[in-house]
Amino acid sequence: QNYIRQLQEEREKANRASEAKSVFLYNMSHEIRTPINAILGMDEILIRESDDEATLNRARDIRVAGSTLLEIVNDILDLSKIEAGKLEIIPGEYDLRELLRGLILMIGTRAESKGLEFRVDIDPEIPAILYGDEVRIRQCITNLLTNAVKYTDTGSVTLSLSFEQDGADNIRLGVAVSDTGIGIREEDLSKLFMEFQRLDERRNRNVEGTGLGMSITRELLGLMGSDLEVESKYGSGSTFSFRIRQRVLRKDSVGSADSLVMEQRPAASGQKYAPGFTAPEASVLVVDDTYMNLVVIEGLLKPTKIRIETVTSGEEALERVQHTHYDLILLDHRMPVMDGIETLKRMKELKHHQCPEAPVIALTANAISGAKEQYLRAGFTDYMSKPVEPEKLEDMIRHYLPEELIHAVKKDLLPVEDDHTGKAEVRSDVKRLEEKVSSLNVDLGIRNCGSEKGYLNACGIFCQAVKDNEAGIRDALDRQDFEKYTILVHALKSSARMIGAEEVSSTALVLEGAGERQDEATIVSLTPWLLKKYVELGSDLEKALSDLQQQKQPTEDLVRISENDYQNALHLMEAAASGMDYDGVQDMLNMLAGYRLTAEQEAQVNEVKTALDHLDWDRITEILK
């Protein structure tokens, strides 16, 4: 009896010690991640800012070492979550094509840097839209692929995907990763899944990592009802594989590996864009506190002919849905006073809601793991990260709009637009802007804004907001209002990235995290640098855009507009403004730019331009009356 009791006490003591270790690792990993992220963020700023090659080399070394350290901490965090029973499998809808595109791009780059061939062998008939834990499935495949690249010096790494039908609505997704690496001795196979173990230590002493990857992968697969199988021949290579049950939500197929690779390449220069559908009878409400985001989304959706209405706050959104029916709502998350989650909650409680069944898509600049599940739990239909990708935005809206509102477009039957719309001039303006403001990633900005014309408009709006935003951030910092400070810096991060101002955006990202943690030391030390760069960028952009405008045709060479034509233009602008038709007002402004105006007319037109940039439709109507 005493012996049994003693054994029980020892077992309980061991269990408590194990639990204490897991909790300690879990908490410490979280704490360590915060300064690592700050270090990597600051280092990125240093890389972008410095012109000294020696400094850049050291900064790049910091980035490599910091990223490796972060990977190690993430491994320990995952292991401690598993041991503490805190790691959850969170299934949701995902697109296997998107998962594969990311893996092909990332692993292809790593393999290429080692001189390896990366092969992809996919059954093109695999259903693409599945239900499962996308984050953990990606993690498992990534672990297998990165391990294969690490332990292979010559030859190739191959990712293979297959499937078997498992009842009417499910499949068994088969994943295999093969390499021509060093292989594993038979006597070492039993050590493969031991924590903190590296096989053939002498031969692999230069390989970085914790030795946790395989253990974590097996544990994750176990939580998802699967197991990891290994076949290996020492000196010839290895194959790691698993089969996992996934529910099929739609029958779309993945397609060939070649099509996945081609789809992630940018479109050829000059290739004509055409929408995949039109929906002129559809009505969409867009809610975002940043004017530039509203203008960009309007511009991206213009080819679909959807009727777009925009508001800049949750309060305005609640007012609109009580009087107007919308087929879809795009709702920003991070807004002052009332954020997107609170807005949605109040929207669902409204007694006179005109569109209670309309899908509500969350817009967020935080594309973090688990974000989709967070928004689904909050009641959103889906979510989209900002800056929005034009193709993804179009695909998502097409998916959620009622089928009867969708009109298919055959791209080969689209009329060819004439080239008298100033496209060559716009392209020339973008090129000159790139030369004048070298800190901008113009290609990124054009992708985010959907077109070169949209990009130039966004740059103009960005400039006009600098003075007020800078004052707002300073005021929030002076009053130690960290909540407002975080919201303003979050908006700056998004708008700066929108136009390709990566240096300002990455700094704002670091400070957004500091604001959420109320890390006053980081905020106080880094905010002046951010605001200095922000103001400098705004000034450089404003001067560049002004220079471009002055290089246009001199006003003395223009024909003076007749009073009758001018009044007709005002009436057309007023009609467009009453329908919140941004492009209609802009077209009239573009037309007037081709004429010589009186000083009074020019002042009136400039007032309209300013109001349009802020989407202040009431002000436009007031000016024109």
pLDDT value of position 592: 82
What is the rounded average pLDDT for all residues in the chain?
78
Token pair of 223 as six digits: 């939580």
Q: Which of 37-41, 69-73, 221-225, 414-418 comes out lowest in average pLDDT?
A: 414-418
Strand pairing class (360-364; 307-311):
unpaired
Other beta carbons within 10 Å of 102: 13
- Give the containing element (helix H, strand E) for 538: helix 520-550
Check residue 574 and give left, alpha or beta (phi > 0: left; psi -120 to 50: alpha).
alpha
CB-facing half-sphere around the CA of 134: CA atoms within 13 A: 21
CB 167 within 8 A of CB 160: no
Most confident of 118-132, 435-449, 499-513, 571-585: 118-132
pLDDT category at 419 given cuts 50, 70, 90 is very low
Q: Which of 164-173, 253-262, 486-495 comes out lowest in average pLDDT?
A: 253-262
CB 33 within 8 A of CB 70: yes
Q: Which of 77-91, 168-182, 422-436 comes out lowest in average pLDDT?
A: 77-91
pLDDT at 622 over 80: yes
Residue 360 phi, psi dihedral angles, 5° rounding: -120, 115
CB 306 within 8 A of CB 262: no
**Alpha carbon distance 577, 282 (integer Å):** 19
Q: Which of 108-112, 238-242, 267-271, 544-548 comes out lowest in average pLDDT?
A: 267-271
- The better pLDDT of the pair 427, 376 is held by 376
Determine what percent of the chain is predicted with pLDDT higher than 70.
Answer: 76
pLDDT value of position 519: 83
pLDDT at 116 over 50: yes
pLDDT digits (tens, 9 = 90+) for 367-402: 444 566 778 888 999 888 766 777 788 888 988 999
